Amino acid sequence: MFHETRRGAQMTPTAGWRDELDAAWREIEEWYAEHDAAHLLSAGASEADVGKVEAQLDVVLPALLRASLLRHNGTRRDGWARGTLLSCGSIVAATELWRRIADHGEDVPADYVCPDAERGLLQPGWWHAGWVAIDEDRLGNATGVDTAPGPLGSYGQVLEMDRITGPILSSGDVVEYLCEVADSLEDLRVGGGGTLEENDVWEGDDAPSAPSR
């Protein structure tokens, strides 16, 4: 699903995107509530907070990302299916770090070529200035939203940034990303430290008996 289109310099969300974003977030919120983990989701950002992100990074955030931040301004550390959903301040810090890595060539393979850039979906490079980090994991990988897609890409598309292998297009937009997160929550549990962890997998005779009530 592609909810934002480019018409010259104007980015126009398609009809119904608010309802779809709301549905995706409600499914996520219900899982957190059912697992007594609603406190891991931060309250929404202010319009001023979101405006600072745009000003500091010199980008125009897609409407889907803006609305998502207004609903939840990130999560607690490791409180997200993919590590940590970043707050406005953390978005700026993480994005600026990726930009510095790309600019200075740190940990970037000398002969690196982005496959999705060759296909015209992403701009070439290790981390483009138009990419905005929205989550990160413990290993230093990130997810980004694209505000400057390749000629065959879509404004607002989502990419996964692997610190070893580089970027790859992963989702059509923020709604699709949130739906994928919601699906992945079924394989997770809330650990004792208030972080999300993978469920233990038990099969056959190894499965523990149900606890008595």
Domain residues for the domain of 91 are 16-191
Cβ-based neighbours of 43, under 8 Å, separated by 6 or more: 72, 73
Closest-CA residue to 175 (of 71, 88, 78): 71
Asked, for residue 198, whether it belongs to a domain, the answer is no
Cβ-based neighbours of 130, under 8 Å, separated by 6 or more: 59, 123, 146, 147, 148, 149
pLDDT at 160: 97
Asked, for residue 207, whether it belongs to a domain, the answer is no
Three-class DSSP category at 197: strand
Asked, for residue 22, whether it belongs to a domain, the answer is yes
Asked, for residue 2, whether it belongs to a domain, the answer is no
Q: Decide if 47 contacts 88 (C-beta within 8 A).
A: no
pLDDT at 53: 98
Asked, for residue 51, whether it belongs to a domain, the answer is yes
Alpha-carbon span 163 to 38, nearest angstrom: 30
Please state the domain count of the chain: 1
Asked, for residue 73, whether it belongs to a domain, the answer is yes
Alpha-carbon span 129 to 57, nearest angstrom: 8
Asked, for residue 163, whether it belongs to a domain, the answer is yes
Asked, for residue 98, whether it belongs to a domain, the answer is yes
The CATH number of the domain where 34 resides is what? 3.40.1580.10
Written as tens digits, the pLDDT of the chain (213 aa) is: 445 544 333 456 677 899 999 999 999 999 999 999 999 999 999 999 999 999 999 999 999 999 999 999 999 999 999 999 999 999 999 999 999 999 887 677 777 888 999 999 999 989 999 999 999 999 999 999 999 999 999 999 999 999 999 999 999 999 999 999 999 999 999 988 889 998 864 344 444 443 333
